[in-house]
């Protein structure tokens, strides 16, 4: 099959939401429809031993939340679907932001009881920065939630995006009967099953059909006809160009846990979602159909298999065909690397593949040469743009509780920091190590993983720090004076870049005024 045909077959998207909106459950049901798994396991259910397929780290199973982005691929209607399930918890937002650089579109999950929440708004801002197309799934219709019209208004207002309902719920809560797909002009009634797909699907082409009353009751039938007429009158037809530019979001209603409305979402998604798109490097725009391979690393994960101390780098393929065993150019190091062990993902399970195409996410085994943001190519010198590290918000000093395990601690910190979930700063004086994160829950995860994966026991001591600022200057003399004057507050990040550790906002402002020749940066890309 030609590269153009392979590109047309691919859809690469991320699932994003506020915590507990049902994102991981929806992911499972999409995999169920795609035939990738036969039975779904509820994340928090003690009755089902199988945990959610996409939550595979031990701490995710204990807490019932996603703390790492999972990558899953499956086939549906002769399409290759690449799905990235992201952490919803705000403490892991940086992983989600980076993941959004690797997708072409997004499915946003909203809880019909709670509506649009703060984290959803933040994620939408990231999508808007890149004009990422967004498709919306309003979940948990099996619960007594808010009025659907009210939810649509809130999405438009808070997320600053126009909406177009593509399916409509028949009642909700205990009386929830199913959805009417305006996209396919048919009524679908489901028998809810949490673990497997139901075969009992009834389709009615015409809403004026008298059998509608028999299936959903007279009151529901009348209400549905009124709602559909109103929606068709108020909301214009879906404009594909507006959707692909991220200006309008098609909206679906359903209940992921009961398989309500999921197939309608997936069928529409396959039809309208964008194929892999062109991407920008610092030298030029690269189109996916180009013959020469290039791609970038957006995530690194250590110890996916606890029995083998391995590191896997996740590569988003942007152009050309990626082939196992071929030599590729590492742009940052200006060296050639050969990847003989290349995998495609199905959550934690992996399969070795020989080739992959634009839109695909592949895993390459790494011994420590690769970093987040690195570009691999077939000779191209440009680096893909837009994967910075942000200045952390919470800082804690690492206290080693077992001096005999110092080497294990060094290795564990180094590998976990390479994953990009937190940042390590080592003070020039005294070699104190400080971990900076976006949220407090990160420390619990790092502590848990250091102990369980590396045998290193640590505690984290709170520190009174406001910001870590990367520093640079064109004047070497002024830079040396600054370092000499502020030696106690100078650290290095894991790449050896100089960082000024500011204790308060006011003090940082004063230092900036006193040393105007120094440039202070709040992201690592400068």
**What is residue 363's three-state secondary structure?**
strand
Indicate if 414 and 347 belong to the same structural domain.
Answer: no
The answer to whether residue 384 is domain-embedded is no
The answer to whether residue 124 is domain-embedded is yes
The answer to whether residue 364 is domain-embedded is yes
Indicate if 172 and 31 belong to the same structural domain.
Answer: yes
In this prediction, residue 55 carries a pLDDT of: 47
The H or E element that residue 508 is part of is helix 505-514
Indicate if 211 and 245 belong to the same structural domain.
Answer: yes
Q: Check which CATH number belongs to the domain holding 351 and give it.
A: 3.40.50.300
Distance CA 43, CA 37 (A): 15
The answer to whether residue 526 is domain-embedded is no
In this prediction, residue 38 carries a pLDDT of: 55
Distance CA 179, CA 111 (A): 17
The answer to whether residue 82 is domain-embedded is yes
Indicate if 407 and 452 belong to the same structural domain.
Answer: yes
Quote the tokens at residue 510. Answer: 């004063």
Please provide the size of the chain in residues: 526
The answer to whether residue 471 is domain-embedded is yes
Give the tens place of pLDDT for each residue, 162-178: 999 999 988 888 888 88
Indicate if 369 and 491 belong to the same structural domain.
Answer: no
Distance CA 87, CA 66 (A): 5
Query: Of 377, 412, 434, at which residue does a domain stop?
Result: 377
Indicate if 49 and 177 belong to the same structural domain.
Answer: yes
* C-beta of residue 248 within 8 angstroms of C-beta of residue 235: no
Indicate if 171 and 36 belong to the same structural domain.
Answer: yes
The answer to whether residue 234 is domain-embedded is yes
Strand partners, 312: 301, 365
Structural domain containing residue 75: 3-272
Indicate if 254 and 294 belong to the same structural domain.
Answer: no
Quote the tokens at residue 318. Answer: 């942007």
Give the tens place of pLDDT for each residue, 488-513: 999 999 888 999 999 999 999 999 99
Indicate if 85 and 212 belong to the same structural domain.
Answer: yes
Query: Of 242, 272, 302, at which residue does a domain stop?
Result: 272
Rg (CA), the chain: 25
Strand partners, 338: 327
- The number of beta carbons lying within 10 Å of the beta carbon of residue 368 is 11
Pairing of strands 458-462, 394-400: antiparallel
Look-up of token digits 């207002």: 157
Count structural domains, the chain.
Answer: 3
- What's the number of CA atoms in the CB half-sphere (13 Å) around residue 237? 3
Indicate if 213 and 100 belong to the same structural domain.
Answer: yes
Indicate if 249 and 314 belong to the same structural domain.
Answer: no
The answer to whether residue 389 is domain-embedded is no
Long-range Cβ pairs for the range 197-206 (8 Å, 24+): 197/32, 197/33, 197/259, 198/259
Distance CA 253, CA 250 (A): 10
Indicate if 313 and 207 belong to the same structural domain.
Answer: no
Give the residue among 242, 253, 189 at the shortest CA–CA distance from 220.
Answer: 189
Sign of CA dihedral 223, 225, 230, 231: positive
Tens of pLDDT along the chain (526 residues) come to 689 999 999 999 998 888 788 888 888 888 887 776 655 443 333 233 334 444 434 544 454 444 345 778 888 989 999 988 776 445 445 667 778 889 999 999 999 999 998 878 878 887 887 889 999 999 998 889 899 999 999 999 999 999 999 999 888 888 888 888 888 888 877 565 555 554 456 667 777 777 788 778 888 888 988 998 999 899 999 999 999 999 999 999 998 888 788 888 999 999 999 999 999 888 899 999 999 999 999 888 766 555 555 678 889 999 999 999 999 999 999 999 998 888 876 644 567 788 999 999 998 888 778 888 899 999 888 888 766 666 788 899 999 999 999 999 999 998 888 777 788 999 988 889 999 987 787 898 899 889 988 999 999 999 999 999 999 999 999 999 999 999 999 999 988 899 999 999 999 999 999 999 999 988 776 5
């Amino acid at each position: 099959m030609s590269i153009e045909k392979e590109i047309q077959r691919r859809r690469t998207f991320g699932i994003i939401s506020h915590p507990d909106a049902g994102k991981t459950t929806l992911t499972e049901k999409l995999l169920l429809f795609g035939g990738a798994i036969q039975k779904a396991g509820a994340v928090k259910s003690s009755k089902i031993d199988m945990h959610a397929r996409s939550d595979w780290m031990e701490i995710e199973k204990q807490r019932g939340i996603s703390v790492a982005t999972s990558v899953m691929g499956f086939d549906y209607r002769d399409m290759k679907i690449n799905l990235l399930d992201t952490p919803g918890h705000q403490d892991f937002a940086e992983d989600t932001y980076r993941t959004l650089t690797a997708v072409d579109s997004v499915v946003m999950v909203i809880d019909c009881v709670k509506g649009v929440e703060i984290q959803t708004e933040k994620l939408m801002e990231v999508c808007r920065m890149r004009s990422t197309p967004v498709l919306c799934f309003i979940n948990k219709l099996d619960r007594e939630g808010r009025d659907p019209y009210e939810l649509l208004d809130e999405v438009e207002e808070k997320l600053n995006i126009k909406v177009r309902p593509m399916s409509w719920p028949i009642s909700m809560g205990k009386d929830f009967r199913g959805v009417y797909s305006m996209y396919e002009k048919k009524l679908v009634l489901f028998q809810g099953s949490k673990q497997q797909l139901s075969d009992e699907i009834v389709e009615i082409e015409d809403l004026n059909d008298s059998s509608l009353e028999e299936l959903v009751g007279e009151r529901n039938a009348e209400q549905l006809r009124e709602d559909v007429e109103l929606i068709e009158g108020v909301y214009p037809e879906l404009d594909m160009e507006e959707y692909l530019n991220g200006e309008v979001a098609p909206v679906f209603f359903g209940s992921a846990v009961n398989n309500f409305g999921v197939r309608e979402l997936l069928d529409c998604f396959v039809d309208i979602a964008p194929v892999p798109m062109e991407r920008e490097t610092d030298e030029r725009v690269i189109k996916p159909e180009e013959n020469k391979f290039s791609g970038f690393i957006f995530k690194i994960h250590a110890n996916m298999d606890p029995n083998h101390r391995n590191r896997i780098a996740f590569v988003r393929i942007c152009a050309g065909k990626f082939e196992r065993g071929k030599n590729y150019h590492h742009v940052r190091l200006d060296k050639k690397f050969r990847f003989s062990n290349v995998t495609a993902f199905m959550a934690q399970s992996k399969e070795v593949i020989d080739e992959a195409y634009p839109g695909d996410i592949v895993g390459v085994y790494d011994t420590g040469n690769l970093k987040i943001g690195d570009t691999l190519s077939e000779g191209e010198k440009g680096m893909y743009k837009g994967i910075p590290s942000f200045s952390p918000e919470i800082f804690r000093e690492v206290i080693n509780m077992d001096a005999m395990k110092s080497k294990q601690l060094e290795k564990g910190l180094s590998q976990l920091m390479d994953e990009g979930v937190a940042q390590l700063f080592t003070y020039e004086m005294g070699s104190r190590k400080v971990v900076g994160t976006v949220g407090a829950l990160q420390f619990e995860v790092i502590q848990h993983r250091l102990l369980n994966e590396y045998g290193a026991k640590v505690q984290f001591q709170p520190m009174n720090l406001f910001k870590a600022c990367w520093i640079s200057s064109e004047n070497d003399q002024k830079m040396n004076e600054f370092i000499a004057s502020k030696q106690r507050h100078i650290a290095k990040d894991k790449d050896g870049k100089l960082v000024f550790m500011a204790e308060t906002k006011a003090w940082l402002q004063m230092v900036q005024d006193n040393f105007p020749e120094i440039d202070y940066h709040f992201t690592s890309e400068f």
